[in-house]
């Protein structure tokens, strides 16, 4: 028995926020909205993906934004990505607390915290293996 990956990350959102979420996740982050199965679509919310990243935004009637908990999203050319977001009016906060890792945080339009990381020459895996697999 072994965990082999993450299928998706679920974030909460308040009722009626789908349009502002679509604008942010599609237009600002460059993700693609994916259709929800009909039985789940009736609940509201939106699903988005880009590459191997899948985020599900589910409606929570007692919504409170995640201020500490967050997905850590890998980005190529993180500087350009941060410029894209700031150019669209999204506030980014750089952090240098992880040695050798460039990262910043931002909030989605409903206040959920998102972390963006870049680690040149590394790929995700157990303990961030070198891109050649450690061979």
* Cβ–Cβ < 8 Å for 49, 94: no
Rounded CA gap, 106 and 48, in Å? 17
> Is pLDDT at 80 greater than 70 in this prediction?
yes
Reported as a pLDDT band with limits 50, 70 and 90, residue 50 is very high
So where are the chain's domains?
A: 9-118
Quickly name the fold that domain 9-118 has: 2,3-Dihydroxybiphenyl 1,2-Dioxygenase; domain 1 (3.10.180)
pLDDT at 123: 52
Burial class of 46 by CB neighbour count within 10 A (0 to 12, 13 to 18, 19+): buried
Lowest mean pLDDT among 45-49, 59-63, 92-96, 130-134: 130-134
Q: Using CA atoms, how far apart are residues 15 and 111, in angstroms rounded to an integer?
A: 14
pTM, to two decimals: 0.85
Q: How many residues does the chain have?
A: 135
SS3 sequence of the chain:
CCCCCCCCEEEEECCCCHHHHHHHHHHHCCCEEECCCHHHHCCCCEEEEECCEEEEEEECCCCCCCCCCCCEEECCCHHHHHHHHHHCCCCCEEECCCCCCEEEEEECCCCCEEEEEECCCECCCCCCCECCCCC
| Residue at token pair 């339009």 | 109
């Amino acid at each position: 028995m072994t965990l082999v990956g993450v299928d998706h990350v679920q974030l909460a959102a308040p009722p009626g926020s789908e349009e502002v979420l679509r604008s942010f996740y599609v237009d600002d982050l460059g993700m693609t909205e994916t259709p929800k199965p009909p039985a789940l679509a009736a609940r509201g919310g939106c699903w988005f993906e880009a590459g191997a990243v899948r985020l599900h935004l589910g409606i929570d009637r007692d919504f409170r934004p995640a201020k500490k908990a967050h997905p850590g999203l890998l980005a190529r050319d993180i500087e350009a990505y941060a410029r894209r977001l700031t150019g669209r009016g999204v506030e980014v906060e750089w952090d240098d607390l992880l040695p050798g890792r460039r990262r910043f945080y931002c909030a989605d339009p409903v206040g959920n915290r998102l972390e963006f990381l870049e680690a040149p020459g590394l790929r995700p895996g157990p303990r961030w293996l070198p891109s050649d697999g450690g061979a």
